[in-house]
Amino acid sequence: MLLKLEFLFYEGVKLVKKIKTACSLDCWDTCSIEVTVYDDKNLKVRGDHSHSITQGFLCQKGMQHLERVNSPHRITSPMKKIDGNWINISWDQALEEIAQHLRNILNAYGASSLLLYSESGHCGLKKNIDTAFFNSLGKVTLPIGSLCWGAGIAAQKADFGKVLSHPPQDLLNSRTVIIWGRNPVNTNVHLVPFLKKAKEQGANIVVIDPIKTATAHLATHYYQIKPESDGHLALAMAKILINDKLHHMEFLNNYCDDFASFEAELQHLELDSLIEATGLTFKEVKELAFLYGMSSPSSIILGYGLQRYPNGGRNIRLIDALAAVTGNIGVSGGGVSYANQFIKQWIDWDYLSNHQHGQQPSFIRSQFYQYILEERPDEIKGMFITKGNPLLQLPNTNKTKEAFDKIPFKVTIDLFMTDTAAASDYILPCTHIFEEEDFLYSSMWHSHFFYTQQVLPPRDGVKNEFEIFNLLAQKLNMVEFVKHYGKEEQYLERGLGPLLANIGLSLKELQGKNLSMEGNEIPWRNKQFATSTKKYQFINLKNTKVTRSTTAKEDYPLQLLSLHPKHSLHSQHFNRVEEGVLPKVYCNRETLNTFKIIIDQPAELESQYGKIKVIPQLDEGVGNNLLLIYEGWWLKNQGVNTLTPSGVSDIGNQAIYNHCFCRISSLGKGETT
């Protein structure tokens, strides 16, 4: 539901405003929110009942917007660090001094010595003004690759040409739904009602995951595989179905490239070896193969954890191949839903980012410290951080902090004093989504747009990023930037030009409209793919190593998975945790006893990159030789990325957080059980 504003008189005296806005968190759901405003002060937040996805409820993260916008811990003045201490300064002083630093760096070292680190902490279009600003300065250094989903995006582009997902309503047409490496109960709560309804209608709900998650408990079938073996499982299932003549020859012959080569190479792989790699039994894999292949239409819903490995892209491509083998592509109730970039075609990204043609200096995001310390030592002189908290989010925290400290001039824009902000030289306080107007969308799940309206006036002393960068541009006399990017309405009209032309509405006419873009109800229904040949592209198994890339050694025998928590989006909500509170690490009883770990007593978790203190917890849903921590903990609470490696995936330049091996030792006394 797009913006809708309704005025009512309440109790005969109070003026009540009901505003429909949306959640700006980088989440699957991008929920529609109804905010009731009493006397422009008191707010009531709830999910939008009229919206087909939100359906009247919000998760705890969405409900916490009210707490965050009113938090007494928000930064409400520009701040400057002097001799290690923070002092409040005026906006004019902050912008003038920052502008002078930028002038000095540009004049002495050139644009490439400036680095913009921008992440996805907010999914609004206006927040992209940071990229447009820095690209106006010249060819600054930008990150490439992904901490989140890059390997899977590259994989599905290789297979299909574009990355598209079925709408959640189409699950009700599936006879079998496989939730593969995803835990929507924690991370995609509005998918759960569709799963429950599909189950009520008789569909098989299958969960494949190394962890028996809350979602696994609502499934009809659960398969606990070993980490990094997802591609092996897909190959084993495909081999069983092909050997039993259950593959879909009409689809394979008419709409696919390279199936014959894929099949020939698959026959060279030993089924027993593929199954052994997964940790499942032959009986379990055969049952799973038949559940998927013999009850079409069957759908697969993928998470992002299974591509956070060195073989991450391969994992996704092999699961795509399984869907192609069974003909579960381009049919209602089918598909392999990973992300949904359907909406992006109606946004003018070249304009929004002020795209610079030609080669631009860049670094792989997860290898930030190598770039700063090894590839370009002492060359990066200034860094701006927006919509992110890289000191926590990047892998190998110790080396990341060393690299961060090497950069002489750093500015962070944020609402709170994050670890990254605390390590900077200047902090500029920004607005919350309730304090600004913006245009929100998601590339992860559904196809809804949200034109959000300002609910509250900004807190005294804070500014939105659009104003911040335009004021900074004026200080730097950036006439062309101000001309093309100086007005918010102009920015949105240009950025949304393809959308407005498609639907025949003006920007103002979008307000009050319920807009869900049509045309992606069943991706690839016409069997015309976006690849160069217009056919589905099978992965070349001849050039693909079908081996598990785990490198557990005697010194680090346990694999650590760092998953998304239920009540925070990455690190955004962990500022409420008191200093000294330790993260919990979950493992099964066998692991507790083998390593003599004591429940609820502090333990030390160590990888080759660092060590942290944790509180062990018993969870029999965690597989053997595995540890589980929920990510997002701040440095004051022992951030988990102190342990994670900074490598990249096979394709997509994806961080490989879950390819992390540790040892654990007890620091307390008591009974292990």
> What are 25's two structure tokens?
């968190």
Q: What residues are paired with 643 via a beta bridge?
A: none
Q: pLDDT per residue over 185-238, tens digit each?
A: 998 989 999 999 999 999 999 999 999 999 999 999 999 999 999 999 999 999
CATH 3.40.50.1820, applies to 558-666:
no
| Burial degree of 593 (CB within 10 A; 0-12, 13-18, 19+) | exposed
Predicted pLDDT of residue 54: 83
The answer to whether the Cα torsion of 291, 292, 296, 299 is positive or negative is positive
Domain 79-147+350-436+458-493: assigned CATH number: 3.40.50.740
CATH 3.40.228.10, applies to 150-341+523-540:
yes
DSSP structure class, residue 194: H
The model's pTM: 0.93
Q: Name, of 62-66, 123-127, 599-603, the range with top average pLDDT.
A: 599-603
Q: Do 603 and 666 touch, CB atoms closer than 8 A?
A: yes
Q: pLDDT per residue over 451-461, tens digit each?
A: 888 888 999 99
Phi then psi for 320, rounded to 5 degrees?
-55, -45
Which part of the chain is CATH 3.40.228.10?
150-341+523-540
Crossing angle between the packed helical segments 271-278 and 230-243, to the nearest 10 degrees? 140
Which part of the chain is CATH 2.40.40.20?
558-666
State the Cα–Cα distance between residues 646 and 267, nearest whole angstrom.
35
Predicted pLDDT of residue 4: 37
Predicted pLDDT of residue 546: 64
Which part of the chain is CATH 3.40.50.740?
79-147+350-436+458-493
Regarding predicted confidence, which is higher, 249 or 43?
249
